[in-house]
Structure 1
Amino acid sequence: MKKNYGLLIGCLVVAALGVIYAGVGAYQAHTKEKEQQQAENEKIYMTDFSEIKAVSYDNDGNVLAFTKDGDSWTYDGDGQFPVNTTRMDSLAGTVKKLPAVRKLEGGDDLTAYGLDTPVRRVTVSADEGDTTTILIGDKTDDGNYYAVIDGQNVPYLISSSLFDETAYGLEDMMALEEFPAVLGTDIQTITIEKNGVSEHYVKKTLDEDGTIAWYRGSDDTEDNKLPDNAALNVLADSLSGLVVKSCANYKVTDEELAGYGLDHPQAVLTYTYEKDGEEKTFTLAVGNTGEDGTTYYTRTADSKYVNEIDKTTLDKCMTVDTGGEE
Structure 2
Amino acid sequence: MERLAYAIKRDECSEDVELALDLFKELQSNSSNFFYSVQVDKACRVKNIFWSHAVSRRNFQAFGDVVTFDTTYKTNSYNMPFAPFVGVNNHFQSILFGCALLRDETVESFNWLFSTFRKCMNGKEPQCILTDNCQQMAASIKKVFPKASHRVCKWHILKKVRENCGNIYSTRETFKEDFHRVLTQMLTVDEFEGAWKELIFEYKLEDCVYLKQMWDIREKWAFPYFGQLFYAGMTTTQRSESVNYVLKRFVMPASSMNGFVKKYERFFIDRLQMEDYEGFHTKHDKVVMKTRSPLERHASKVYTHGVFNLFVEQLSENV
Q: Which one has a larger percent helix, Structure 1 or Structure 2?
A: 2
**Structure with larger RCO (C-alpha < 8 A, sep 6+):** 2
TM-score category by the smaller chain?
under 0.3
Q: Which one has a larger percent strand, Structure 1 or Structure 2?
A: 1
Please tell me whether Structure 1 or Structure 2 has the larger radius of gyration of its CA atoms: 1
